[in-house]
Chain A
Amino acid sequence: AQKITQTQPGMFVQEKEAVTLDCTYDTSDPSYGLFWYKQPSSGEMIFLIYQGSYDQQNATEGRYSLNFQKARKSANLVISASQLGDSAMYFCAMREGRGFKTIFGAGTRLFVKA
């Protein structure tokens, strides 16, 4: 069965510094996709970044990068140059195989300090 684990319930980072949010996953399917979403207090889910299991390079989207370590089954999100607007809940998610079904981790709440 697929599983997503986020072990950091909360994280603090100083404005303009980088922060890493941890995510580990477990699946027996060689084909899968990994996602990170941001959920601000308004509740909307904002897609940040995607990494496919067969992608050779780590995904990057602006200030977001995904540190994909396949052997360790980890997909950590790195946010560079944190901004106050980055304060939100962050969810790691995985889609397994050829299906659409996506499961989400418990989430990490990020607090950016001025």
Chain B
Amino acid sequence: GAVVSQHPSWVICKSGTSVKIECRSLDFQATTMFWYRQFPKQSLMLMATSNEGSKATYEQGVEKDKFLINHASLTLSTLTVTSAHPEDSSFYICSASWEGNKDTQYFGPGTRLTVL
């Protein structure tokens, strides 16, 4: 099956710093990538949808200036948490799909962010 990787798998940073999380599709070209956020014992909340070469579409309530998403190529999307604060601590998961296969999203293993 299709493989999606995320890097790093976990990160601890100081408040005020920025953190970049990478999401890569390893064996397919992902026309669309999604970024989710999951708090402990809660469901996945869609943050934004990104299409290669265009600006991301953010869900209501998600600060686009704080969560910068770039989908520069068909195999890479990045999420940058700018000026991170403790309330940004969460589990961030990306998924990827392509136009001909909307039935399945392939998820990355997730990145656990802890902001001190």
- Residues on A lying within 8 angstroms of B by beta carbon are 33, 35, 37, 42-47, 50, 52, 91, 95, 98, 100-107
Contact between chains at B34 and A100 (CB < 8 Å): yes
Stretch at the interface among B15-23, B41-49, B64-72: B41-49
Contact between chains at A106 and B109 (CB < 8 Å): no
Contact between chains at A43 and B110 (CB < 8 Å): yes
Q: What's the nearest-Cβ distance from chain A to residue B71, in Å?
A: 13
- A-B contacts at CB below 8 angstroms, number: 51
Which of B32, B93, B97, B103 is within 8 Å of A45, CB to CB?
B93
Which residues of chain B are within 8 angstroms of A100 by Cβ–Cβ distance?
32, 34, 49, 97, 102, 105
Contact between chains at B46 and A103 (CB < 8 Å): yes
Which residues of chain A are within 8 angstroms of B105 by Cβ–Cβ distance?
47, 100, 102
Which of B43, B49, B95, B112 is within 8 Å of A43, CB to CB?
B112
- Residues on B lying within 8 angstroms of A by beta carbon are 32, 34, 42-46, 49, 91, 93, 95, 97, 102-110, 112
Q: Give Cα distance in the complex from A107 to B39, angstroms.
A: 13
Q: What's the nearest-Cβ distance from chain B to residue A22, in Å?
A: 15
Contact between chains at B43 and A101 (CB < 8 Å): no
13 A-B Cβ contacts within 8 A? Answer: A33-B103, A43-B93, A43-B110, A43-B112, A46-B107, A47-B104, A50-B104, A91-B43, A91-B44, A101-B46, A104-B43, A106-B42, A107-B43
Q: Give Cα distance in the complex from A22 to B109, angstroms.
A: 26
Which of A42, A95, A105 is within 8 Å of B43, CB to CB?
A105
Contact between chains at B49 and A44 (CB < 8 Å): no
Pick the most buried of A35, A52, A102: most chain B CB atoms within 10 A of its CB: A102
